[in-house]
C-alpha cells in the first residue's frame, strides 16, 4: 500500500506546476490518499455554490421549499454577472430548475435568487448563514461573502474544507446528489452543458462542480464510483480547464488502483480527459507531498470528516413552521395586484419566517398575504422578524 501511495504522489506531482492545491479522499471513510497545500487559503470561485445548494437541499428536506415552488427574481439577481441565465427582474423560476441552473451551468443570477429567497431578500444575510453553517460542519478556514463565488478578497476556502463540504452534501442529502451528475440541461429552449468534463470522459464519474475566476484560476471537485469505492478529488487553482481535468483524472485513477490493491497503472493506462491538444505542465523540482496522517487528533481530516458527515444536520436556528388560522390579531405581508405574486410572497414568508400565511382577495382587485390567529405578542414578534429579513409588514386586529 505504501508503494502504491508513493507512486500516486510522484505521478501527481508531475502536474504540480499547473495547480495550487489538491486532495484525494475516500468519500465513505474520509481517508485521505493524497494532499498538497490542502490547508492553504484559495479563492473557491463557483465551488462556493456547493454550499448554496447544501442550504437549498436543507430547506427542501425540512419543508421550507418544494421542488415545484417558484422563486422571485430580484433586480439585484437579474444584474448578476458574468455567467447567468439572463432572468429578468420580477420573473420567477421553479426551484428544481434553479438547482439545475446552479449545479450544471453555475448561473450566478440563479445562485443569488436562491440566496435571496432563502434569507429574506438579503444575499449578505445568506452569506453569513453560509459561513455559520460552514463552521458547524468543520470548515475551519472558510469565509463566504456571497452565494456564487464572485471575486471578493475575503471570500476564501481550502481544498480540505471544500472536500469536507462536498462530502457533507453526499452524506446528508443523498436524495439530491444526482443534481451534480447532470451532463446537460435544457431551459427555455436553450441547452446548457456541465463544465465537469470528467462526467463524459472518466468511467464512474458521478459529479460534482467546477469553478473559475481570474484570481482563483480553474478549480474542480470531481467524484467517481467504481465497485464499492467512491472517491473525491479536489483541484484548486489549475492553469487551464485541461489541467484541472487531467490532474483530477490522474488522482482518481491511481487512487482506485491504490485502494483496490491492483497494479499501479502506467501513464498510458490512466483514464484521463484527452482533448485534441493537451499542454501538459512539465515536472518541477519541489518537495514531494505527503499523505495525511490519519490519527485520532482533533485537527485531522479524519476527525473533521466524522464531524462533518454525522447523521445530525447542522442546527442554525431555522424557524419552526407556524400554523395559523383566521380571525383575531395577525400580520399582513403586503397586497399584490395578482394572485401569483401573492402566492410567491406566501412562499417567501414560509421559507424565511416559517409562517404559513394565506392569500386573501380584497374584492378590489388586490390579494393580501396575511397570517391570522396570533396573540398580540406573537404578532409583534413576527413583524419584527419580518422587518429584520427585509419583508414589509404590519400588525392588524
Tell me which residues are annotated as active site.
46, 49, 106
94-113: b (≥16 Cβ within 10 Å) or e: ebebbbbbbbbbbbbbbbbb
| Residue that has been written with the C-alpha cell 445568506 in this structure | 126
CB atoms within 10 A of CB 1: 8
Burial class (CB in 10 A: 0-12, 13-18, 19+), 58: buried
Q: What torsion do the CA atoms of 107, 108, 111, 117 make, to the nearest 10 degrees? A: -120
Q: What torsion do the CA atoms of 75, 114, 216, 142 make, to the nearest 10 degrees? A: 130
Determine the Cα–Cα distance for residues 40 and 21; give it in Å rounded to an integer: 8
Determine the Cα–Cα distance for residues 346 and 136; give it in Å rounded to an integer: 30
The answer to whether the CB of 115 falls within 8 A of the CB of 145 is no
The answer to whether the CB of 366 falls within 8 A of the CB of 342 is no
Amino acid at each position: 500500500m505504501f508503494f502504491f501511495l508513493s507512486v500516486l504522489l510522484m505521478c501527481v506531482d508531475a502536474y504540480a506546476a499547473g495547480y495550487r492545491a489538491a486532495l484525494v479522499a475516500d468519500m465513505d471513510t474520509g481517508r485521505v490518499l493524497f494532499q498538497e497545500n490542502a490547508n492553504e487559503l484559495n479563492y473557491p470561485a463557483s465551488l462556493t455554490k456547493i454550499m448554496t445548494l447544501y442550504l437549498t437541499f436543507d430547506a427542501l428536506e425540512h419543508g421550507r421549499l418544494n421542488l415545484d415552488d417558484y422563486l422571485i427574481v430580484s433586480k439585484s439577481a437579474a444584474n448578476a454577472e458574468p455567467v447567468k441565465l439572463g432572468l429578468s427582474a420580477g420573473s420567477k423560476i421553479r426551484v428544481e430548475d434553479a438547482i439545475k441552473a446552479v449545479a450544471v451551468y453555475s448561473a450566478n443570477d440563479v445562485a443569488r435568487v436562491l440566496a435571496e429567497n432563502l434569507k429574506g431578500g438579503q444575499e449578505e444575510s445568506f452569506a453569513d448563514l453560509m459561513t455559520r453553517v460552514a463552521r458547524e460542519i468543520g470548515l475551519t478556514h472558510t469565509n463566504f461573502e456571497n452565494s456564487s463565488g464572485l471575486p471578493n478578497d475575503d471570500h476564501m476556502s481550502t481544498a480540505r474544507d471544500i472536500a469536507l463540504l462536498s462530502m457533507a452534501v453526499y452524506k446528508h442529502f443523498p436524495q439530491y446528489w444526482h443534481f451534480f451528475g447532470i451532463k446537460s440541461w435544457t431551459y427555455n429552449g436553450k441547452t446548457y452543458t456541465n463544465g465537469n468534463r470528467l462526467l463524459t470522459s472518466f468511467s464512474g464519474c458521478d459529479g460534482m462542480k467546477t469553478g473559475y475566476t481570474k484570481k482563483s484560476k480553474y478549480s474542480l471537485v470531481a467524484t467517481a464510483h467504481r465497485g464499492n469505492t467512491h472517491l473525491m478529488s479536489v483541484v484548486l487553482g489549475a492553469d487551464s480547464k485541461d489541467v484541472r481535468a487531467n490532474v483530477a483524472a490522474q488522482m482518481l485513477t491511481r487512487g482506485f488502483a491504490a485502494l483496490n490493491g491492483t497494479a499501479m497503472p502506467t501513464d498510458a493506462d490512466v483514464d484521463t480527459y484527452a482533448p485534441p491538444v493537451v499542454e501538459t505542465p512539465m515536472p518541477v523540482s519541489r518537495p514531494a507531498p505527503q499523505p495525511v496522517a490519519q490519527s485520532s487528533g482533533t485537527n485531522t481530516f479524519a476527525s473533521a470528516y466524522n464531524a462533518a458527515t454525522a447523521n445530525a444536520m447542522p442546527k442554525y436556528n431555522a424557524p419552526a413552521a407556524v400554523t395559523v388560522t383566521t380571525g383575531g390579531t395577525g400580520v399582513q405581508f403586503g397586497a399584490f395586484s395578482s394572485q401569483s405574486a401573492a402566492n410567491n410572497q406566501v412562499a417567501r414568508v414560509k421559507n424565511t419566517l416559517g409562517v404559513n400565511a394565506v392569500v386573501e382577495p380584497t374584492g378590489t382587485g388586490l390579494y393580501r398575504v396575511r397570517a391570522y390567529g396570533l396573540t398580540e405578542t406573537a404578532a409583534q414578534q413576527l413583524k419584527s422578524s419580518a422587518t429584520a429579513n427585509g419583508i414589509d409588514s404590519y400588525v392588524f386586529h
